Amino acid sequence: MAVVSATITGKHRTSSSVRRRRPGVPVVLDQGGAKCFVRLEGEVNITLAVELKTVLLQALASGKELLVDLERATEVDVTALQLITALDRAARRSGIRVALAGRVPAEILTDVVDGGFGEFPISTEPGVKGG
Amino acid sequence: MIDQYKQAFQEEAREVLVELESALLALNENRGDKELVGRAFRALHTIKGSGAMFGFDELAAFTHNLENAFDEVRNGRLETTAELINLSLTALDQIKALLEESGGQAASATSAEILTRLRELTGKAETHPVKAPPAAIAVPVAAPQGAANDWRIRFVPGPDLLRGGTNPLLLFRELKQLGKLRNIATTATIPTLEEMDPQLCYISWDMVLTTPAAREAIADVFIFVADSCELTIEPATENASSVAPASSVVPTSEAAAPAPQKGKYPSYGRRAYDSPDTASSIRVPAAKLDQLVNLVGELVTVQARLGVVANRGDDPDMVTISEEVERLTSALRENSMSIRMLPIRATFERFRRLVHDLARDLRKEVELSIEGADTELDKTVIDQLSDPLMHLIRNSMDHGIESPQERLAAGKRPCATLHLSARHSGASVLISVADDGAGINAKAVRERAVEKGMIAPDAQLTEPEIFSLILAPGFSTAKQVTDVSGRGVGMDVVRRSVEALRGTIDIASKPSSGTSVTLRLPLTLAIIDGLLVRIGSAYFVLPLATTLECIELTREDVEKTNGKHVAYVRGEIIPYIRLREYFQLRTERPEREQIMVAETEQGRYGFVVDQVLGDHQTVIKNLGRFYRHIQIVSGATILGNGSVALILDPHRLVQEAIRTISADPRADLRAQNPHGRRVAV
């Protein structure tokens, strides 16, 4: 299964290995399977905003069901929340389903609720418990 | 966090520290002034909050304790004593060290020592802000107590808020520490994914905070972002739940999101924070500005060449283009030079601390007054001014100003005044350091100079000439060398620095009334407006700012004055200097010459030249160290035809002419000019 990862320099790398998390790459796009995964790791803040937008647009262009994985994220700031909100809207318009792939760390969820978002901009994939 | 944001924080924090220092020093003079306590508190709060946000955890923790102390002061539980101010100033130095992250273990030890002293003073235990990585904001000062009120808060960040490194989520965390927070984000304004600039902030927030804290405490949370947002904090009169302007349903999609209400919330476009005085300034590294000015300098030189070439031919289009380029170059030059102009305020304000510390160490009472702090001058000049001003202040406080007892005995106020002032005068700026101390003892200076072999025992010196002896290296009349001054190094530094800036020093002093040292400095060191003149085949430039008018001098006029070097201009006698003779240029004198009348420190003087060619944008080039001692020339410039013209310093030219004639016993050509000064004619 091919893993395409967008690094912060925007370069695309191809690996022939099976799905594998590349340590230290904060934004990873994995669209090799039936679903398209966007994995975010560490501090997802303004320093990654431009790259995250690029990756989300690529994910959307794949036309596949989108899953956003935040399990390994330690921080999600307003830039990321805006992008995820915009992704959700765009996906709905195109009839694409978008959901969270796993649990959202409790600290992030607290920030999101206190930040006036009520809950995370996209809902959790059925069968996965949030927080 | 990336270094770029850290650096931006450091730069901003340095400015906040200047504000804090000024507030503390002012507070020292007006103990109990609530406004000043508030200023100090807000500065500390800003540094703490933003420090934590940018990963300066030690700085945030340290500042947090000092902030606590000022909260006690704010609430009337702690008094502003001299001890507290002094300790706060020491703590401020420590914050500076932590900000530069240069202290290491020694810095931690100093922090601990200061906090121990602070604890003794406040009687409170040291507290630590809650660390909530990765970028936490410290907990507020103290959990507010009393009856809780509902506050309606509307927070509309400017689009660039996030780019400045601010994360609004951290502000909400801090608000939550004050009480119960209900928050609604308006996300309907987020554009489509394709259209959005991911670094801009598109969201605004409406909150209801139930807290016993005062409005001030709530506003304090937003201090760091106050300039880049619209913020409304008002008491909620109705039921809090009905206050929220957006629906309580969380907007997760376009359909669910409340539509922005027209007129109620301004659209993303121009808002209050976009007003020119807040959003229109940017930070630029000084080196880039220097580069810009250098490039403009090169452009001015090339433009002059273009002008010469265009006028040589007979192509009218070429002439038009050349004139257009000249106009644009001139505008560009003025613009780029104005970018480098800074008010001297920050430099002056920095000395408040020096005066405070020195007064404490020397056990003297000194009040610093500042005038003309908004006077602008070139950044390069400001940068090089700090050292000489510091030495002048140290000198004045150590030698000039007397102890309170001595002052009382002399019938003066025990508290001395040190006055720092700046003002423009033509193309120069005058910076003065004046005190009302004992004044310079001219007799002692003279004796010391004779003792050191600097002057002959029978030398006839005027008072200003005697005073200028104190500028010589190693000269000191101080009986004791103190930590502050007395080694005779300081005034030499002043002289060297001011000369390097092509400035002059004027010292005036009266026994028991005080001393005033005035530095005359050029406004800029890069490009000036000059007047190009010719004598034979030699070209010179005179600064346009000092030039008053140009009059003709015929042989007939010269005969009328019996060969004396004076001209009558509308009934006024103007002495003049013949530059041809002064520079010993062996060329034929034309029938009609021209006198450039200039305003100098010694009064109005004329400079006789063959021809005035017109105004000239003059890029100042240094003559190099071999010519540094030639003071009548302030530099050179390259003309359009590739030749070099010397830039003359009219003040020095006149001074030098007077000195030459005064020193020559055979010179009897002396007269009194209309301004009462001795002149050479």
Q: Which two tokens stand for residue B331?
A: 């505008």
Strands (E) located in B344-404: 365-371, 376-378
Tell whether A70 lies on the interface with B, counting CB pairs under 8 A: no
- The mean pLDDT of chain B is 79
In chain A, which residues have their Cβ closer than 8 Å to the Cβ of B135?
Answer: 43, 75
Count other C-beta atoms under 10 Å from residue B368's C-beta.
22
The verdict on a CB contact (< 8 Å) between B199 and A46 is: yes
Residue B270 predicted with pLDDT over 60: no
Location of each CATH 2.40.50.180 domain in chain B: 527-680
End-to-end CA distance of chain A: 30
| B314 contacts: CB under 8 Å, gap ≥ 6 | none
Higher pLDDT, B152 or B223: B152
B116 Cβ contact list (under 8 Å, min separation 6): none
Average pLDDT over residues A79-91: 91
B606/B559 Cα distance (integer angstroms) = 17
- The stretch B169-194 carries a mean pLDDT of 88
Q: What is the pLDDT of residue A12?
A: 34
Chains A and B: how many Cβ contacts under 8 Å?
106
In B588-668, DSSP assigns E strands to 592-600, 603-609, 611-619, 633-638, 644-648
Structure confidence at residue B431 (pLDDT): 93
Assess A52–B contact: CB distance below 8 Å, yes or no.
yes
Q: Where are the beta strands (DSSP E) in B523-610?
A: 527-535, 538-543, 547-554, 566-569, 572-578, 592-600, 603-609
Check whether domain B527-680 has CATH 2.40.50.180, yes or no: yes
From B176, B193, B254, residue closest to A53, measured CB to CB: B193
Residues A70-82: b if buried by 16+ CB within 10 A, e if exposed: beebebbbbbbbb
The SS3 call for residue B184 is strand
**How close does chain A come to B8, measured CA to CA in Å?**
15
DSSP class of A113: I
> What's residue B41's pLDDT?
85
Q: What is the pLDDT of residues B386-430, one digit of tens each?
A: 888 988 998 899 888 999 999 999 999 999 999 999 988 766 789
Q: Give yes or no for residue A57 having a pLDDT over 60.
A: yes
Contact B193 A60 (CB under 8 A): yes
Two tokens at B273?
Answer: 């924070």
Residue of A nearest to B3 (CA): A47
pLDDT at B650: 86
Interchain contact A61–B (C-beta under 8 A)? no
* Mean model confidence pLDDT for chain A: 76
Token digits for B60?
């945030």
Q: How many CB atoms lie within 10 A of CB B96?
A: 16
Is pLDDT at B516 greater than 70 in this prediction? yes
Q: How far apart are alpha carbons A107 and A115 in whole angstroms?
A: 12
Q: Which residues pair with B433 in a beta bridge?
A: B420, B517
Q: State the virtual CA torsion across B532, B536, B538, B542 in degrees, nearest 10.
A: -30
Tokens of B32: 């109990």
* Mean pLDDT of all residues in B207-236: 84
Whose structure tokens read 């700012």?
A: B545
Q: How confident is the model at residue A15 (pLDDT cuts 50, 70, 90)?
A: very low
CATH 1.20.120.160 domain range(s) in chain B? 3-122
Provide the strand spans (E) within B96-249. 149-157, 180-186, 204-211, 229-235
For A89, the closest chain B residue by CA position comes to: B253
Is B342-522 CATH 3.40.1010.10?
Answer: no
* Angstrom distance (rounded) from CA B61 to CA B67: 10
Give the pLDDT confidence score for residue B561 in this predicted structure: 82
Distance from CA of A67 to the nearest CA of B (A): 17
Mark B498-507 as b/e (b = at least 16 C-beta within 10 Å).
Answer: beebbbbbeb
Query: E strands within A31-64?
Result: 35-44
C-alpha dihedral, B238 to B241 to B246 to B252, nearest 10°: 170
- The DSSP bridge partners found for residue B186 are B204
What's the one-letter identity of residue B272?
Answer: A
Q: What is the largest CA-CA distance in chain B?
A: 100
Residue with tokens 């020193």: B663
Cα nearest neighbour of B254 on chain A: A89
For residue B1, the chain A residues in CB contact (below 8 A) are: 47
Pairing of strands B428-435, A27-30: unpaired
**CA–CA separation, A109 vs A126, rounded Å?**
18
- Report the topology of domain A3-117: Transcription Regulator spoIIAA (3.30.750)
Q: Which range among A75-79, B281-285, B374-378 has the greatest average pLDDT?
A: A75-79
CA distance B200 to chain A (A): 7
* Residue A1 pLDDT class (50, 70, 90 cuts): very low
- Determine the distance in angstroms separating the CA of B249 from the nearest CA of chain A, rounded to an integer: 8
Q: Does domain B286-340 have CATH number 1.10.287?
A: yes
- Cβ neighbors of B431 (< 8 A, separation 6 or more) are B344, B385, B389, B420, B421, B422, B518, B519, B521
**DSSP at A47:** G
Residue B124 has pLDDT above 70, yes or no: no
Residues B28, B33, B39, CA angle at the centre, nearest 5°? 85
Give pLDDT, residue B520: 86
pLDDT of residue B269 exceeding 50: no
Neighbouring-strand partners of residue A69: A39
What confidence tier does B541 reach under pLDDT thresholds 50, 70, 90?
Answer: very high
Residue B457 makes CB contacts below 8 A (sequence gap 6+) with: B450
Facing B196 at nearest CB: one of A82, A115, A117:
A82
Which tokens go with B658?
A: 């007077």
Is domain B149-246 given the CATH code 3.30.479.10 in the classification? no
Q: Do A79 and B198 touch (CB under 8 A)?
A: yes
Q: Which of B252, B254, B268 to mutate to test the interface with A (most CBs of A within 10 A)?
A: B252
CB-CB: which of B193, B199, B250 is closest to A50? B199
Interface test with A, best of B167, B204, B208, B221 (most A CBs within 10 A): B167
**Residue B613 CA: distances (Å) to CA of A38, B51, B370, B435, B578:** 72, 59, 42, 46, 17
A94 vs B: CB within 8 A:
no
Contacts of B327 (CB under 8 A, 6+ apart): none
Residues of chain B with CATH 3.30.70.1110: 149-246
Q: Is the confidence at residue B343, as pLDDT, over 70?
A: yes
Give the separation between CA B33 and CA B19, rounded to whole angstroms. Answer: 16
List the strands of the sheet with B229-235, edge to edge: B180-186, B204-211, B149-157, B229-235
CATH dotted code for B3-122:
1.20.120.160
Backbone angles phi, psi at B359, to 5 degrees: -60, -40
8 Å CB contact of B192 and A89: yes
Q: Where are the beta strands (DSSP E) in B106-260?
A: 149-157, 180-186, 204-211, 229-235
B174 → chain A, closest CA residue = A114
Nearest-CA distance B40 → chain A (Å)? 29
The candidate with the shortest Cα–Cα distance to B513, out of B436, B400, B417, B412, is B436
User: Quick count: other Cβ atoms within 10 Å of Cβ B239?
Assistant: 9
Q: Which two tokens stand for residue B284?
A: 């630029």
Nearest-neighbour CA in chain A from B199: distance (Å)? 6
Percent of residues in chain A assigned helix, strand, coil, to nearest 5: 35, 30, 35
How far, in Å, CA of B17 to CA of B20, rounded? 5
For residue B105, name the pLDDT band (cuts at 50, 70, 90). Answer: low
